[in-house]
Amino acid sequence: MGKPKTKEPSGRDKRRRINAAGFDQVYKIGLWGRDAVANDGFFSGPGSVGAAAAAYVQALVAEFSDQPGLAAVDLGCGDFRVGSRIRSLFDGYIACDVAPSLIERNNGKYADLDVDFRALDITSDPLPAANVALCRQVLQHLSNADIRFFLRNLRKTSYRWLVLTEEHPAGDFVPNQDSTTGPNTRLHLEPPSGVVLTEPPFDLRPVDSKVLLEHPVPGVGIIRTTLHRLTSE
Ligand SMILES: C[S@@+](CC[C@H](N)C(=O)[O-])C[C@H]1O[C@@H](n2cnc3c(N)ncnc32)[C@H](O)[C@@H]1O
C-alpha cells in the first residue's frame, strides 16, 4: 500500500496563503509606519491619516449621508482609521482584510462599532454581499494578475456601487503597468503608473462613473476616488 496522498493546495489556496503572510509581515514590522500610541506596526500608511483621509471622509459623507439603509463592505480595510470615520454612514458594515493579525486587532480595538471584521482575500475568497463596496488604496498593491482575480470575483457580486481609491501619478500616465503584489505601488515604477480598472488589460464596464475626489500628494501624485455605478437599478 502506498503512502496516502496529501492534497496539493489549489492556486487559490496558495495565493491566499502568500498574500496573507506578505501583508501580515508588513504590519508586523510596521513597514508603512507605526501606531504611536500602541507602539505597534498596525498602521496602513500616510494615506490613512491627515488631510487625505479627512477629504475622503468628507466626500463619502456628501455622497451617502442622505441615502439611509445601505450596507457597505470595505475590501482591504487596513488599520480601520478611515473605516471607523465612515462606519456610521451605513446600516451594516463588513470590513475585510487579507492580514489575519490585523483583523484580530481590529476586532478588539473597534468592538464598539458593530463591524463584522473578516480575514478574507479579495482575489481568492467570495466577496460578502452589500450595496456599496469600498476599496481604498488596495488594488495599487496588487499585481495585474491579482487584480484580474479580484475583477472575476467582483463580477459574481451585485454591488450597486464600487467606491475605488487609487494613487495615481500627477498628469498623464500609462495606466496598469504591471507590478508585484506587495507593499509598494506603481508610483515606484519608472515611469510611474497607477491602476485604472476601465483601461486594458482590465475590463470593468460601469453603468457610469464619477470622480468624487482628487487629493494631491505633493511630489508624489494624487489620490483619486471614483464612484463606479455597477448596476442600473
Ligand atoms: C494601504 S492599505 C489601505 C487600508 C485602508 N483601505 C485605508 O485606506 O486606510 C492596503 C490594505 O489592503 C490589504 N490587502 C492587500 N491585498 C489584499 C487582498 N488580496 N485581500 C484583502 N485585503 C488586501 C492590505 O493588507 C492592507 O491592509
Q: Which atom number of ligand 1 is nearest to the Cα of residue 142?
A: 16
What is the structure's pLDDT at 8?
Answer: 75
Nearest CA to ligand 1 atom 20: 121
How many whole angstroms from 191 Cα to the centroid of ligand 1? 24
| pLDDT interval class at 17 (50, 70, 90) | very high
Q: What is the pLDDT of residue 36?
A: 84
All three cell numbers of 45, joined, read 500608511
Q: Which residues, including other chains, have CB under 8 Å from residue 58's CB and lie 6 or more apart?
A: none
Whether 45 lines ligand 1, by a CB cut-off of 6 Å, is: yes
Mean pLDDT of 121-146: 98
The answer, yes or no, to whether any atom of ligand 1 lies below 6 A from the CB of 215, is no
- Indicate the pLDDT class of residue 3, thresholds 50, 70 and 90: low
What integer is the mean pLDDT of 124-130? Answer: 97
**pLDDT tops 70 at residue 78:** yes
Q: How far is the CA of 8 from the centre of ligand 1 (A)?
A: 27
Omega into 100 within 30° of 0, i.e. cis? no
195 lines ligand 1 (CB under 6 A): no
**For 47, phi and psi rounded to 5 degrees?**
-70, -15
The domain limits of the chain are: 11-229
CA atoms within 13 A on the CB side of 94: 16
Does 138 contact ligand 1 (Cβ within 6 A)?
Answer: yes
pTM for the full predicted model: 0.95
CATH number of 11-229: 3.40.50.150
What are the C-alpha distances in Å from 216 to residues 47, 187, 211, 221?
11, 14, 14, 6
The residue with cell 505597534 is: 40
